[in-house]
Chain A
Amino acid sequence: MNALVGLLLVDLALLALAIAGAIRRNNALVYGGALALSTLGLALALTHFLGRAAPQTLVLPIGLPWLGAHFRLDALSAFFLALAHLGGAVASLYGLGYGRHEQEPGRVLPFYPAFLAGMSLVPLADDAYTFLVAWEFMSLSSWALVTAHHRSAENRNAGFVYLVMAAFGALMLLLAFGVLAGASGGYAFAAMRAHPPGAGVAALALALVVLGAGSKAGLAPLHVWLPLAHPAAPSHVSALMSGVMTKIAIYAFVRFAFDLLGAPDWRWSLPILLLGAATAALGVLSATMEVDLKRLLAFSTVENIGLIFLSLGLALAFKADDLSRAAALAFTAAMLHALNHMLFKSLLFFGAGAVLTATGARNLDRLGGLFDRMRWTSLAMLIGAAAIAGLPPLNGFVSEWLMLQAVLLGPAFPQWTLKLLALAMGAVVALVAALAAAAFARMFGIAFLGRPRSPEAASATDADPTMRYAMAGLAGACLLAGIFPGVLIDALKPLAEAAVGAAMPLQAKIPWTSIAPIAESRSSYNGLLVLIFFVASGSAAAFVIHRVASAAIRRAPAWDCGFPNADPATQYTAVSFAEPIRRVYGPFAFAARAEVDMPRPGEARPARITVHMSDRIWRGLYAPIGRAVAAVATWLNPLQFLTIRQYLSVVFGALLALLLLLAIRS
């Protein structure tokens, strides 16, 4: 059977599963079924992708009568489908355990398979109509999951903001398709490819796609919904939204920018690079300040999306300047980072879900000391945190390293702007990586180490077996992807060839599983050897010390410079840990200022410190828009209370005005 038909049948079966979930709210049925179907979908997509099969197409007589529904499976869609189904499979495995703790299964079970189906349908679509239907299906089903716990006002607000932003994004994509199809109305992607748009139209379409796909991916300043909506959903859905749905948005951007829009202009890359850099920096700084565990992870998603866009911007610029090997490097780095981010962000959200079920707390300052109480979860989270912080020998480092290698090819740009911008991008990637390390050291240190800050944290126990397996599997994947990056780079070859017309040199030829993006004399990295060195030198040190010197251990109260305090509140908190970073970056990024109220000598009241931080984007962009909409609505409100005669005259007036307009135009 043809892989495309198989993948469509998987989606259809997922929809059937959604209906079954609505009728029989059976946890094992829904998650078990989704796990089996996603695994099947993963196998189909991987077979097509790794087998480097020719693109397959299918036209079904559904949808718009004059258009039909076009489907196509090529390297790009197969890669993103494999990513989506992989994420779906592990999330379903996790859901088998996590779903049992769900308070409102009726609001999760029917929508979960529908969400999976929506996400895995988008990459298959080969015409504007099918694409938008799948896209909106994905948005709506995830919206239903975001508002699953609708009794909290915070979640309702998150759902509202998400719905508005999703509608905005879909509208932008609709307009982008309209611009591309032009007057002739060729809504099939094949027709768009056959007639590449002119420079002006392409630039307009690109701007619309950045707004449309960027709002779904979380590109600043359209990211505001993401840290609200992603944490509001149940944790395995948060993992899917952060790990997979943002990647589908990346897919949409790649499909447009590297495929449908034709040959790029180097100027296109400027907004992508700048937006990507701003997104990454803003996301990671917000993550460093955040005290809610799941919101912290959502902000870090914003950061990683920024890095992926930055790398895609570099790839676009290299492609426009015909530096195709450099373009392949930047593009491969972006795709590898998309895959890596799916792995470790899903892992981290799973861990957050395990912590949430064990303690009922998402606030970092209610956690602490979980390391020995939740051994599996903690170890998995430690690996995830180190991976996302870009530390070798894990996978996050490899993709960031490739990005930096692409940046170092910047002097090859013929344009001055790009040369200097590439350098600035390198500094941004380094800054973001360092801040991410701080953010995740803080996350792990506060939540899992130290003394428990609440009775719930003190009595936490580890997660259910299936949740553990899902986390352990992802942690293992993070390590494997970190020590065998060459295999992944080689596998991504057809992807880069399709997008930028070249690929990175074959890594399998290089001995010892090293990777060398350009040439071995220029730069190389070997994750496997670094891991072996780590293990060897660590065990050698342990062996020598325990043999030659002492192996005795004595437990005693903490020393703390002679003044230990038994109250766990004397520990550093998430807020106090972030204080030095806030003092350095806060005034610029968040208009942060601290007010210290110090009592005079002799006064008995306590000293107070109050920190004011404001979200500049929300205050400067969204709040005015919200106020304007509210003002217009108030102004138009009387329209609701007219008599029938007045309504009729309004309708007549509108008709007259439209006819006049038509008469003037033609």
Chain B
Amino acid sequence: MISDLAYQLLQMTLVIALAPGLTGLIRKVKARLTRRRGASVLQPYFDLARLARKEAIVADSATSYFRVAPYLIFASTWVAAALVPTFATGLMFSWSADLIAIVAILGFGRFALILAGMDVGTSFGGLGASREAMFATLAEPAMMTIVFCLALLAGSTQLSTIAEFMTTHDVGLRVTLGMALVALVMVAIAENGRIPADNPATHLELTMVHEAMILEYSGRHLALIELAAMLKLLLYVSIIGCVFAPWGLVAGEGRSLGVGLGVYLAKLAFAGVALGVFETSIAKMRVFRVPNFLGAALMLGLLGAMLLFVSRVLK
């Protein structure tokens, strides 16, 4: 019981501690690939600390919701991140929300963020919010079809159970899993506002979505929202890791904690480098191309789930 609780608390602090590092790593890789030296991997930590120490500037036209929203966004993202198996499965509270609920908890954060973008009453905020809302209408069903693929295979929507199923059973190479992986990566890219769906480093009005929503935020509020965005990236990497690369997860008593943590860090590093390489080698697409991109993910997910029916019958 105590060790369960310790694992859960370790997970909660670990995700917070590692999330800025992952973002820093991606920035570093992108900088090196464009022949710049780039800031240290630890730079996001310094940025966050500096932001948190500054005073927060709140627009005159902002309502009191504006000041609550960062906490709502951060809390929901953190809760979702704490429920995803990172280095261990079967965490103490993992049964309190299955994968569908985790997606919905992230949806809560997005709802709060969209409202925050609309609060000050500037055109940029509305622009980002309306585009985010449109992306979400495709990204969420796409994510749900991926959940269907996994749940139909593993017979469960619990992320821990799915991860254990992937390690212990002879799943083999399945077309469905391939499709689900591609679709999940596409959804993760769009959900996290990465290239080619959105550019996290831009402040050009024609291209920004996430940045436009948080344009009015500063100081500790901005720090919280930035940290939430980093956490969300880590969360998606963890989901992909625990489902499609479920090796080294600490399950029960047998495995050692060190191996679990080490493998998890390796997975994060791999994902960070891969994302950095991917983002450097591809151009950002126009905003109204993103629906096609997400629509493709949705179709892949649906097709994957449908194939599962076919293969199940033919077997």
Contacts and interface: CB of A to CB of B under 8 A. Distances in A.
* A interacts with B: yes
Interface of A: 368-369, 371-372, 382, 386, 389-392, 397, 401, 404-405, 407-408, 411, 419-420, 423-424, 426-427, 429-431, 433-435, 437-438, 441-442, 444-446, 448-451, 512, 514, 520-526, 529-530, 533-535, 537-538, 541-542, 545, 548-550, 552-561, 564-565, 568, 570-572, 576-581, 583-585
B136 A369 contact: no
Q: Which of B105, B117, B152 has the most CB of A within 10 A?
A: B105
A558 B148 contact: no
B96 A449 contact: no
B155 A550 contact: no
B63 interface: yes
* A-B CB proximity, top 4 nearest: A572-B126, A445-B118, A450-B121, A430-B144
Contacts of A565: 123
Interface stretch (B54-62, B186-194, B267-275): B54-62
Interface string B99-131: 011001101101100110111111111110111
A394 B52 CA distance: 31
Given A391-B104, A437-B136, A450-B120, A554 B58 contact: yes
A155 B155 CA distance: 52
A438 B137 CA distance: 7
Contacts of A537: 74-75, 78-79, 82
A558 B95 contact: no
A363 B187 CA distance: 35
A524 B98 contact: yes
22 contacts: A407-B148, A430-B144, A434-B139, A435-B137, A437-B111, A438-B134, A441-B115, A442-B130, A514-B95, A521-B158, A525-B98, A537-B79, A541-B74, A541-B78, A549-B49, A549-B223, A550-B52, A555-B60, A556-B58, A561-B203, A571-B121, A577-B130
A524 B59 CA distance: 42
A314 to B, nearest CB: 15
A423 B148 contact: yes
A572 B137 contact: no
A538 B108 CA distance: 13
B59 A371 contact: no
B130 A576 contact: yes
A523 B154 CA distance: 11
B118 A449 contact: yes
Nearest to A426: B148
A530 B52 CA distance: 26
A407 B291 CA distance: 25
Contact of A533 (B52, B82, B122): B82
A553 B58 contact: yes
A537 B309 CA distance: 41
Contact of A445 (B56, B129, B136, B216): B129
A446 B126 CA distance: 9
A558 B133 contact: no
Contact of B133 (A438, A554, A570): A438
A581 B134 contact: yes
Interface stretch (B64-72, B232-240, B250-258): B64-72
A371 B95 contact: no
Contacts of B287: 580
Which label, helix, strand, loop or mixed, suits the secondary structure of the A interface?
A: helix
B130 A572 contact: yes
B93 interface: yes
A389 B108 CA distance: 9
Contacts of A392: 97, 101, 104-105, 108
A554 B157 CA distance: 46
B152 to A, nearest CB: 6
Given A397-B104, A549-B220, A556-B59, A423 B302 contact: yes
Contacts of B305: 423
B75 A560 contact: no
Interface string B135-167: 011111101110010011001111001000000
B77 to A, nearest CB: 9
Nearest to B308: A411
A109 to B, nearest CB: 37
A560 B302 CA distance: 41
B284 to A, nearest CB: 17
B215 interface: yes
A401 B126 CA distance: 30
B177 interface: no
Contact of B59 (A372, A557, A585): A557
A144 B220 CA distance: 55
B260 interface: no
Given A401-B104, A524-B96, A555 B111 contact: no
A449 B115 contact: yes
Given A435-B137, A523-B157, A526-B96, A570 B123 contact: yes
A63 B242 CA distance: 67
Given A389-B111, A430-B145, A561 B205 contact: yes
Contacts of A445: 114-115, 117-119, 129
Given A433-B140, A559-B216, A404 B130 contact: no
B38 interface: no
B76 interface: yes
A442 B133 contact: yes
Given A369-B61, A390-B104, A522-B158, 15 more contacts: A371-B119, A386-B111, A407-B148, A438-B136, A445-B119, A449-B119, A451-B61, A523-B151, A524-B95, A541-B224, A558-B121, A560-B120, A572-B125, A581-B134, A584-B291
Contact of B56 (A401, A405, A426, A553): A553
Contacts of B129: 441, 445, 572, 577
A419 B308 CA distance: 11
Contacts of B124: 560-561
Contacts of A369: 61, 63, 121
A429 to B, nearest CB: 8
A260 B194 CA distance: 56
A533 B79 contact: yes
B52 A545 contact: yes
Contacts of A572: 118, 123, 125-127, 129-130
Contacts of B49: 549
A570 B49 CA distance: 35
